[in-house]
Structure 1
Amino acid sequence: MSKEILLVVDAVSHERGIEKEIIFDALETALASATKKKSGKEIEVRVAIDRETGDYETFRRWQVLDDETEPFEYYDRQVLYTRVIDDNPGIAFGDFIEEPMDSVEFGRIAAQTAKQVIVQKVREAERKKVADEYQERIGELISGVVKRIERGNVIVDIGNNIDAIIKREDMIPREPVRNGDRIRGYLYEATNQSRGPQLSLSRISPEYLVELFKIEVPEIGEDLIQIHNAARDPGLRAKIAVEAHDDRIDPVGACVGMRGSRVQVVSNELAGERVDIILWDENEAQFVINAMSPAEVKSIVVDEESNSMDIAVDESQLSQAIGRNGQNIKLASQLTGWTLNVMTVEDAENKNEEETQNILNQLMEDLNVNEDLAIILLNEGFTSLEEVAYVPLQEMLDIDNLDEDTVMALRERAKDVLLTKAISDEEQLGDTEPAEDLLTMDGMTEQLAHQLASRGIITMEDLAEQSIDELLEVQAMDEKVAADLIMTARAPWFAEDADDTTTTENTSDANETNVTSDAEDKQ
Structure 2
Amino acid sequence: MAVSANRLELLQIADAVAREKSIDRQIVLASMEDAMQKAARSRYGQETEVRAEINAKTGEVRFSRLLQVVDQIENDAKEITLTEARKKNPAAQVGDWIAETLPPFDFGRIAAQSAKQVIVQKVREAERDRQYQEFKDRIGEIVNGVVKRVEYGNVIIDLGRGEATIRRDEMIPREQFRPGDRVRAYVYDVRREQRGPQIFLSRTHPQFMAKLFRQEVPEIYDGVIEVRAVARDPGSRAKIAVISRDSSIDPVGACVGMRGSRVQAVVNELQGEKIDIIPWSQDAATFIVNALQPAEVVKVVLDEDSERIEVVVPDDQLSLAIGRRGQNVRLASQLTGWDIDILTEAEESERRQKEFVERTNIFMKALDVDEVVGQLLASEGFRSVEELAFVEPSELASIEGFDADTAEEIQNRARENLAKIEAELEARRKELGVADELREISGLNTVMLVKLGENDVKTIEDLAGCATDDLIGWSERKDNETVKHLGFLDGVEISREEAEALIMKARVKAGWVDEAALAAPEVEAETAEEAPAAH
Query: Which bracket does the TM-score occupy, shorter chain normalised?
Result: 0.5 to 0.7
In structure 2, how many angstroms separate the alpha carbons of the residues matched to 1:49 and 1:134?
34
Deviation at 1:369, TM superposition (A): 5.1
CA contact (8 A) 2:185 2:202 kept: yes
| Distance across 2 between alignment mates of 1:46 and 1:463 | 68
CA distance change for structure 1 residues 298 and 107 in 2, over 3 Å: closer, same or farther?
farther
Unaligned runs of 5+ in 2: 1-6, 57-61, 69-94, 436-456, 474-495, 519-535
**SS class of match (2:155):** strand
Whether the 8 Å CA contact 1:146–1:154 is kept in 2: the answer is: yes
Q: Please tell me whether the aligned partners of residues 34 and 104 of structure 1 are also in contact (alpha carbons under 8 angstroms).
A: no
**Equivalent-residue separation in structure 2 for 1:49 and 1:378 (angstroms):** 95
Task: In structure 2, give the amino acid aligned to 1:174.
Answer: R
User: How much does 1:225 deviate?
Assistant: 1.6
Q: CA 1:179/1:453 → structure 2, altered by over 3 Å: closer, same or farther?
A: same
CA contact (8 A) 2:299 2:313 kept: yes
Mapped pair 1:349 → 2:331: no
Pick from 484, 499, 502 the counterpart of residue 470 of structure 1: 502
Amino acid at match of 1:114: A
1:426 deviation in Å? Answer: 4.3
Relative distance call for 1:321 and 1:431 in structure 2 (3 A) is same
The letter for the 1-side match of 2:148 is K
- 1:63-142 to 2 correspondence within 5 Å? 107-109=105-107, 112-142=113-143
Moved more, 385-394 or 346-355: 385-394
Cα deviation digits, residues 63-119 of structure 1 (max 9, x gap): xxxxxxxxxxxxxxxxxxxxxxxxxxxxxxxxxx9x999998664425553222122
Aligned residue for 1:349, secondary structure, equals: helix
CA contact (8 A) 2:267 2:274 kept: yes
Deviation (angstroms), 1:231: 0.7
Provide closer, same or farther for how the CA distance between residues 255 and 390 of structure 1 changes in structure 2, counting only shifts above 3 A: farther
Q: What displacement does 1:413 show? A: 4.8
The C-alpha deviation readout for 1:390-424, integer Å capped at 9, x for no partner, is: 67888777766463735863774576467547645
In the alignment, the residues of structure 1 paired with residue 305 and residue 500 of structure 2 have an alpha-carbon distance, to the nearest angstrom, of: 22
Q: What's 1:288 paired with?
A: 288
Pair 304,337 (structure 1): closer, same or farther in 2 beyond 3 Å: same
Q: Evaluate the alpha carbon distance shift between residue 351 and residue 14 of structure 1 in structure 2; reply closer, same or farther with a 3 A threshold.
A: same
**Cα RMSD (Å):** 4.4
Identity among equivalent positions (%) equals: 40
Partner residue in 2 for 1:337: 337
Distance 1:149 1:394 in 2: 79
Partner of 2:408: 405
Residues 260-275 of structure 1 aligned to structure 2 (within 5 Å): 260-275=260-275
- 1:117-516 pair list within 5 angstroms: 117-160=118-161, 162-366=162-366, 370-385=370-385, 387-388=387-388, 401=402, 403=404, 405=408, 409=412, 412-413=415-416, 416=419, 419-420=422-423, 423=426, 426-427=429-430, 430=433, 451-452=459-460, 455=463, 462=470, 469-474=501-506, 475-476=508-509, 477=511, 479=513
Deviates more, 1:459-468 or 1:380-389: 459-468
- Give the superposition deviation at 1:58: 5.5
Bigger relative contact order, structure 1 or 2 (CA pairs below 8 A, ≥6 apart)? 1
Describe the SS at the equivalent of 2:138. Answer: coil
Question: Residues of 2 paired with 1:57 and 1:370: CA distance?
Answer: 110
- Answer yes or no: is the 8 Å Cα contact 1:366–1:417 preserved in 2: no
Structure 2: distance between partners of 1:388 and 1:168:
61
Task: Tell me the SS of whatever aligns to 2:341.
Answer: strand
2:34–2:118: 8 Å Cα contact kept in structure 1? yes
Letter paired with 1:288: I
> Against the structure 1 CA distance between its residues 380 and 195, is the aligned structure 2 distance closer, same or farther, given a 3 Å change threshold?
same
Contact 1:230–1:335 at 8 Å: present in 2 too?
yes
Query: Does the aligned pair in 1 maintain the 2:145–2:160 contact within 8 Å?
Result: yes
Q: Evaluate the alpha carbon distance shift between residue 460 and residue 282 of structure 1 in structure 2; reply closer, same or farther with a 3 A threshold.
A: closer
Amino acid at match of 1:124: E
8 Å contact 1:190–1:200 — kept in the other structure?
Answer: yes
Cα drift, residue 193 of structure 1: 3.0
CA contact (8 A) 1:189 1:200 kept: yes
Task: Give the SS at the match of 1:230.
Answer: strand
Change (3 A) 1:470 1:325: same
Deviation at 1:189, TM superposition (A): 1.0
Secondary structure at the aligned position of 1:200 is classed as: strand
TM-score with structure 1 setting the length: 0.68
Aligned partners of 2:282, 2:299: CA distance in 1, in Å?
Answer: 18
| CA distance in 2: counterparts of 1:52 and 1:395, whole angstroms | 98
> C-alpha offsets along residues 132-169 of structure 1, whole Å, 9 cap, x if unaligned?
11110100011112222222212222223x22221111
Amino acid at match of 2:259: R
- Deviations along 1:339-385, whole A, 9 cap, x unmatched? 22223221222123223333443344455555455445444443245
Further displaced range: 452-461 or 361-370 = 452-461
CA distance in 1, matches of 2:204, 2:163: 19
Number of aligned residue pairs: give it. 428
Q: Which has the larger radius of gyration?
A: 2
* Cα distance between partner residues in 1 of 2:127 and 2:415: 79
CA 1:396–1:222: 2 relative to 1, 3 Å: farther
Task: Label 1:398 to 1:146 Cα distance change in 2 as closer, same or farther (>3 A).
Answer: farther
Q: Whole-Å Cα distance in 2 between the matches of residues 453 and 372 of structure 1?
A: 50
Instruction: Indicate how the Cα distance of structure 1 residues 381 and 421 shifts in structure 2: closer, same or farther if over 3 A, else same.
Output: farther
In the alignment, the residues of structure 2 paired with residue 241 and residue 123 of structure 1 have an alpha-carbon distance, to the nearest angstrom, of: 45
3-state SS in 2 of match to 1:232: strand
Q: Which amino acid aligns with 2:172?
A: I
Looking at structure 2, the residues matched to 175 and 144 of structure 1 have their Cα atoms a distance apart, in angstroms, of: 16
CA distance in 2 between counterparts of 1:159 and 1:422 reads 74
- Unaligned runs of at least 5 residues, structure 1: 61-96, 433-448, 485-523
**Compared with structure 1, are the counterparts of its residues 248 and 306 closer, same or farther at alpha carbon in structure 2 (3 Å cutoff)?**
same
Q: Residue 296 of structure 1: SS of its match in structure 2?
A: coil
